[in-house]
Amino acid sequence: MHFHVLTLFPEMVQNGISTSITGRAIARGDIALSTVNIRDYSTEKHKKVDDYPYGGGAGMVMQAQPVYDAWRSVRDALGKDVRTVFLSPQGKVFDQQKARELAGEEDLILLCGHYEGVDERVLEEIGVEEISIGDYVLTGGELAAMVVIDAVSRNVPGVLTNADSGTEESFSEHLLEYPQYTRPEEWMGRRVPEILLSGHHENVAKWRKEQSLLRTKERRPDLYALANGEEMSGSCGKNK
């Protein structure tokens, strides 16, 4: 899968994604990341990419021309229609279902906004799909794009090795993880739960499932409701 990020800060995205599991996935060729600096496409003599908002108000707005030309450069090079995601607080909130869905794309263009936003006309012309990573104020869309790339990449075949684990073992995407422990058996007077030392794999699995359910109910009742809904409709056991 090939991610194409349109941004004013390409090095920020490259640096963030070139580390850790996504970095190794790029090195192996399981995913690819290209960044396009929107500023490179400004036809203005000082490479300006923003201007004052019509109607007045605070801040600046990203101009349509450099955004459109940057997008066209990617689309024309690919020579086909490509799904384009605009990271925006006005989008539907990103979740695991969307991460899995996007992982089915061969190419994905991600557009990152800055300043007060992007001229609405270029968003309409491109036909963007708006996605938000959550309800807080950000300075730009880059961190959101990185979140989406990370989450989507994990669903691309080959990206997660056995050693990287992942949600494969989770019996429902709507449940939180059970608590984890590693050596030593006792640390600062706190012991690892005895059952995990018992070697009884069936009991361990049962305990972990209970812990997952308990934690989800306590900490994320919103997710717990979804997990229960799945169990009742009989699709909980889809051990992906």
CB half-sphere exposure, 56, CA atoms < 13 A: 0
Give the binding range for ligand 4FN (CB under 6 A) out of 36-44, 48-56, 103-111, 128-136.
128-136
Binding to ligand 4FN (CB under 6 A): which residues in 18-57?
A: none
Degrees (nearest 5) of the Cα angle 71, 72, 76?
Answer: 125
Secondary structure (3-state) at 225: helix
By beta-carbon proximity to ligand 4FN, the closer residue of 10 and 141 is 141
Is 113 a binding residue for ligand 4FN by CB under 6 A? The answer is yes
Residue 68-97 contact track with ligand 4FN, rule CB under 6 A, x = bound: -------------------xxx--------
Helix intervals (H) in the chain: 10-17, 20-28, 64-78, 96-102, 120-126, 142-153, 201-219, 221-232
Pick from 58, 137, 163, 188: which binds ligand 4FN (CB under 6 A)? 137
Give the binding range for ligand 4FN (CB under 6 A) out of 132-140, 157-165, 188-196, 202-210.
132-140
CA 66 to each of CA 126, 127, 158: distance values in angstroms, whole numbers, following the listed order: 13, 16, 35
Minimum distance of ligand 4FN from residue 85's CB (angstroms): 9
